[in-house]
Structure 1
Amino acid sequence: MSRRSSLLVPMKSIERELICPICEELFTQPLVLPCQHSVCHRCVRELLMPNHDDSLSTDAGSESSNPGSPRARVPSPSTEKLERLVRSGNPRPDTVHITHHSNRGVVSMLFRNFTLESIVERYRQAARAAVAIMCNACKPPVQEATKSCMDCKASFCNECFKMNHPWGTPRAQHEYVGPTTNFRPKVLMCHEHEMEKVNMYCEVCRRPVCHLCKLGGSHANHRVTSMSSAYKILKEKLSKSIHYLISKEDQVRTQISELEEMMRHTEENGQLAERRASEHFERLLETLQERRTEMLRSIEQSRSLRVERLRAQVEEYQGMLENSGLVGYAQEVLKETDQSCFVQTAKLLHVRIQKATESLKMFQPAATQSFEEFVLDTSKEELLLKELSFSGVPAPPVIDLSRCRVYNEGLIHWRLSEDTLPTDHHIVEFRKLGSEEEQESGWSASEPVFGCSTVLSDLSADSSYTFRVKSCRNRVYSPSSPEVTLHTPPAPVFGFLFNEKCGFSAERLQLSKRRDSVESVAGMSLLLAAERVQTGSYICLDYIIGDTGISHGRHYWAFRVQPDSYMIKVGVASDSKLTEWFHNPRDTSSPRYDHDSGHDSGSEDACFEVSQPFTLLTVGMGRLFIPKASASAAGDHSSRVLPMPQRIGVCLDYDAARVFFYDADTMRCVYERPVDCSGTMFPAFGLLGGGAVHLEEFITAKRLSYL
């Protein structure tokens, strides 16, 4: 058997590819939708023009041509089904709209899928191989056809074909194929230019077009290739894909076997799990039944004993009534006048009377009627039963990097899978990265955490830590979450809040109640100030500093700049000039005469450095601007503009007289420079136009706890 014949696929196996998705029967004159799906011509017309009489003839061998066929009895599917099919794969939604205003135009613009039509016909022939196609030209007795002429659209036996296609006539040039009932046009014609043959392919619309469509039609600006090129490329791709799939037949069969084996094991394991669960519930029911029997028996015994005691007491008191003759007898004894005889009889009688009297005076039921000591509280047990669940291995959590922060302490957040069952607690493990000795020390673990976040204390400064989390349910731990590495700041956290008493402009700055956020409002006051600005002058920044100073050591703080902020300066300020700076508005070095326009020019940088006690970095409009004086960025303007980090960190080394600026998420230093630490240094911020600065919670937590 040849290689080609070994790769052929039986016609029966492709049946599901030949079914119309609308009527769910074999295609009849299929049309190609813009989404590249095919739908029966009749289905499209029935949906879009339900009252239109379909005049397009159908194949002689088509089942749908018979009004009594099953196809004719199928109710029309909804238009929504067709619309969903069109939209599911339409590369350009604007190329087709299934509307009632242009339905006829939509149908006329759709190409017939002749290739699919031919395959369906071959499938029909294979399905009715026992039924021969007869010659259309024979006189009785009719012979079996051997050829079908695509030009005459008829089938012929050998003799009739020769008679109808004699040599030397135009008919001899007709195209013929094997016997078929499917006669299609020899070439496709353009829908927009009916006299033009389709000879090009639009790669944008993924449909055949003619040369006029490319020259001045709707595809003039589209990428168009020749039909021969598209044919060659697509046929090569399709052939390679088919050969690849066929070459992987053994692999597919192996995978099918594995899947079938998995299905068998799944069935077995599912049945085993059902049996085990049933056994557990049966044991629970047996235990409940035993406890029920024991406790009901206890109640019954107590009830019987109490009733018996009360019955005895009733009989005793009933005896008093029945022995009423004792009173009459005693009255008769009292009539005895002989003293010796009276004493002899009355002594015993008095004892009996006295007992009856004491019983009446000291009446007490022999048993209690309440059964309060037998009341059951099963609320806890009911809750446990309601929370009863399978004790499988929990799904591993995932650490949420967007909410994690590390300073002197590490704030670690994580999230659980949406379909995970409730967990008992979580364990956070972490270890410091560095020397081999430190890594060999292994993982440190937190105490059990009952939420989805925790704080880890005593982390070393300027160090990298790896974190992971695992969940626990019924003493079974999940696999650890994917590990994440976070870098701690280069110095301990410095805590402060904004100071509204030094240089703060209440007209243009709004401070939050907690004093952990400040916002610049570009309002009327800024417009009025602009009216007074002379040529060559600049509107000043509004400054605000921290309420706590630094006089020694290394300190770190972090904050967020609102992304849409216009311009914000961040850095440090010396107290040696703050008093003079904020209380001398006529001085050109005052913030009321700030020479920094925000353009970050070299002259402005120099003027700013000479005149001001601030060491500041410019942030704004989604960018971070490195000062021109930076040695690492000198002479390269493009390298001075960086994307604005989500969080910015500042580290002041007072003893070394240097300040560092960081991307606080990655702890990458973006800029450093010397600073004059001649006095107490304060965190400083300058705002111009709309914008806001928000201090990190770790920075403000210690200060807020003091308030």
Structure 2
Amino acid sequence: MDEMEEELKCPVCGSFFREPIILPCSHNICLACARNILVQTPDAESPQSSRASGSGVSDYDYLDLDKMSLYSEADSGYGSYGGFVSTPTTPCQKSPNGVRVFPPTVPQPPAQQHLLPQPSSLPLIPRNSCITCPQCHRSLILDDRGLRGFPKNRVLEGVVDRYQQSKAAALKCQLCEKSPKEATVMCEQCDVFYCDPCRLRCHPPRGPLAKHRLVPPAQGRISRRASPRKISTCTEHELENLSMYCVQCKNPVCYQCLEEGKHGTHEVKALGAMWKLHKGQLSQALNGLSDRATEAKEFLVQLRNMVQHIQENGVEFEACLVAQCDALIDALNRRKTQLLTQVNKEHEHKLKVVRDQISHCTVKLRQTTGLMEYCLEVIKENDPSGFLQISDALIRRVHMTEGQWGKGTLTPRMTSDFDLTLDSGPLLQTIHQLDFVQMKVPAAPMLQLEECCTQNNSATLSWKQPPLSTIGVDGYILELDDGNGGPFREVYVGTETICTVDGLHFNSTYKSRVKAFNSSGVGQYSKTLIMQTSETHGKCKHPPV
């Protein structure tokens, strides 16, 4: 019942309806709220023949009423018309639902208040007052009866009372003087809720009250709801009960209304018969609405299950993505290790070559330096004969040593630069282009029966992808059998979704089916469609739906 609560609240004050009245547009509003949103219109703008607010306007008679909407503000449909009223305008307030609420209009001087005697429960309503429905924004000029012309919605009032009772706390004893205790029983004859002490004191089990029936409080509340309500009386003739129903005005009327001739040309039926008829119509309408509500509940269950599946699939897909990226990172690290090993080998090779050259050059330099020092000492000798004995050999040796330092000896055998360049461009481009690809095959296509037909010895078939399918399709494959129950054969492969096959046999029954394919593979077949070719030329047949 909690879902019904919004239906039981006034659109102006946002609270539960209190003394609701029915506007001609079939919407409801509290009587007090109706007084607050009354707006006085200029005399010059009022129509010559004011319409009765409750009886003279049908549910669809808004041609004249819509003219009043020019007075309404664009945001809410209500406005204060200070330019047409002699009294100053009153600032408006806002209800909990955001509807603008105006305080009651200031009454006119006493000279204008003798038109129609008003009950003490309703304040005097100025002439040419306008009320606008807060839900559909239909405007209406009130007649001399004012708000009394609107019928009271006693059914809605009863529903609100029952709803509030059902939402109330535990039932209390009605005879406890101070701090009422929780009731334990209810007497159906006394219509009183008792606690145990009050029941023993005021409703003894012996004597005249022994025959009274005591029931649990919850059951007693239900019996109270089922008790007959007060018979409704006519709004115009307060002493007359409503016993008939005017079909044109769509309002209950009394016999005096009929005698006065207000509904003389209207179709009038018995109130009880129309009550049963409308109850039956409402029950039938509720059956359809109940079916839609059941479908909506099943759809919500499907959506909730889909949410759960999406969450589960999201976690699984995220874990798969992380694993794939980790595998790529591992492969990159392994390749990095291999490349680093190659760089280390090149590094060691270069160092070995340069160090060998340094060692060789160092030995030769030491030998050359020793030879030079020896030759300098020989030159210092003053003995000519001894010098000439060894001079020729030393000269040859010096020339030989100089020749060993010939071209290329003092050139490095290895450069310090590494001749290795990592070609990472294609890999970086591949990483940047790394994206999700379609890994699922297409869903089974849906045959469009309204567009499939046979004419003479040809058959035309049309199909489409399921509405919620997001899987890409590269093409379709259409298959037909041989017309005698034989195997299927491919008759069309392409991207079109309609195909006409010619050259079939007359008066033959063919079975057809279609499937979709993409880069991931071929999907499932559609439902098999049975088609009958024409017996003779000139006939067109559609397959049964």
Q: TM-score, normalised on structure 2?
A: 0.51
Deviation, 1:113, is: 1.4
The whole-number CA distance in structure 2 between the counterparts of 1:446 and 1:461 is: 15
Deviation, 1:298, is: 3.1
Q: Residue 471 of structure 1: SS of its match in structure 2?
A: strand
Q: Corresponding residue for 1:370?
A: 421
Report matched runs for 1:66-465 at 5 Å: 75-78=96-99, 98-99=136-137, 102=140, 110-125=150-165, 127=168, 129-130=171-172, 132=174, 186-189=232-235, 199-201=243-245, 207-208=251-252, 225-235=269-279, 272-308=312-348, 338-356=391-409, 359=411, 367-372=418-423, 374-377=424-427, 385-387=435-437, 391=440, 394=443, 396-399=445-448, 402=451, 412-431=461-480, 438-446=483-491, 449=494, 451-453=495-497, 455=499, 459-460=503-504, 462=506, 465=510
Deviation, 1:420, is: 1.2
The whole-number CA distance in structure 1 between the counterparts of 2:366 and 2:457 is: 98
Cα distance change of structure 1 residues 235 and 98 upon mapping to structure 2, 3 Å threshold: closer
Q: Corresponding residue for 2:529?
A: 483
Deviation, 1:297, is: 2.1
Q: Residue 438 of structure 1: SS of its match in structure 2?
A: coil
Q: Residue 407 of structure 2: SS of its match in structure 1?
A: helix
CA contact (8 A) 2:516 2:523 kept: yes
Q: Residue 467 of structure 1: SS of its match in structure 2?
A: strand
Matching of residue 19 in structure 1 with residue 4 in structure 2: no
Report matched runs for 1:632-643 at 5 Å: none
CA contact (8 A) 1:18 1:120 kept: no
RMSD: 6.3
Between structures 1 and 2, the one with greater strand share: 1
Cα distance change of structure 1 residues 458 and 479 upon mapping to structure 2, 3 Å threshold: closer
The whole-number CA distance in structure 1 between the counterparts of 2:240 and 2:345 is: 111
Given residue 140 of structure 2, which amino acid in structure 1 is its aligned partner?
S
The whole-number CA distance in structure 1 between the counterparts of 2:324 and 2:16 is: 58
Q: Residue 526 of structure 2: SS of its match in structure 1?
A: coil
Given residue 469 of structure 1, which amino acid in structure 2 is its aligned partner?
V
The whole-number CA distance in structure 1 between the counterparts of 2:191 and 2:480 is: 82
Q: Percent identity?
A: 15
The whole-number CA distance in structure 2 between the counterparts of 1:322 and 1:297 is: 37
The whole-number CA distance in structure 1 between the counterparts of 2:507 and 2:405 is: 100
The whole-number CA distance in structure 2 between the counterparts of 1:102 and 1:26 is: 24
Q: Corresponding residue for 1:504?
A: none
Give the counterpart of 2:20 among 20, 30, 38.
30
Deviation, 1:480, is: 1.0
The whole-number CA distance in structure 1 between the counterparts of 2:417 and 2:534 is: 78
Cα distance change of structure 1 residues 51 and 441 upon mapping to structure 2, 3 Å threshold: closer
Q: Residue 355 of structure 1: SS of its match in structure 2?
A: coil
User: Which digits, 9 at most, give the CA deviation of each residue in 1:570-596, with x for residues without a partner?
Assistant: xxxxxxxxxxxxxxxxxxxxxxxxxxx
User: Which digits, 9 at most, give the CA deviation of each residue in 1:151-201, with x for residues without a partner?
Assistant: xxxxxxxxxxxxxxxxxxxxxxxxxx989xxx98841426xx999975544
The whole-number CA distance in structure 1 between the counterparts of 2:158 and 2:175 is: 16
Given residue 435 of structure 2, which amino acid in structure 1 is its aligned partner?
L
Cα distance change of structure 1 residues 15 and 399 upon mapping to structure 2, 3 Å threshold: closer
Cα distance change of structure 1 residues 424 and 262 upon mapping to structure 2, 3 Å threshold: closer
Structure 1 gap ranges (5+):
1-11, 53-71, 80-94, 135-145, 149-176, 491-659, 668-707
Q: TM-score, normalised on structure 1?
A: 0.41
Cα distance change of structure 1 residues 34 and 407 upon mapping to structure 2, 3 Å threshold: farther
CA contact (8 A) 1:410 1:459 kept: no
Deviation, 1:345, is: 3.9
Q: Corresponding residue for 2:123?
A: none
Matching of residue 470 in structure 1 with residue 515 in structure 2: yes
User: Which digits, 9 at most, give the CA deviation of each residue in 1:239-287, with x for residues without a partner?
Assistant: 8999x99xx9xxx99x99x999989977875665455334423432332
Given residue 436 of structure 2, which amino acid in structure 1 is its aligned partner?
K
Give the greater-gyration-radius structure (CA): 2
CA contact (8 A) 2:447 2:464 kept: yes
Structure 2 gap ranges (5+):
40-77, 81-92, 101-132, 177-189, 193-222, 380-389
CA contact (8 A) 2:458 2:503 kept: yes
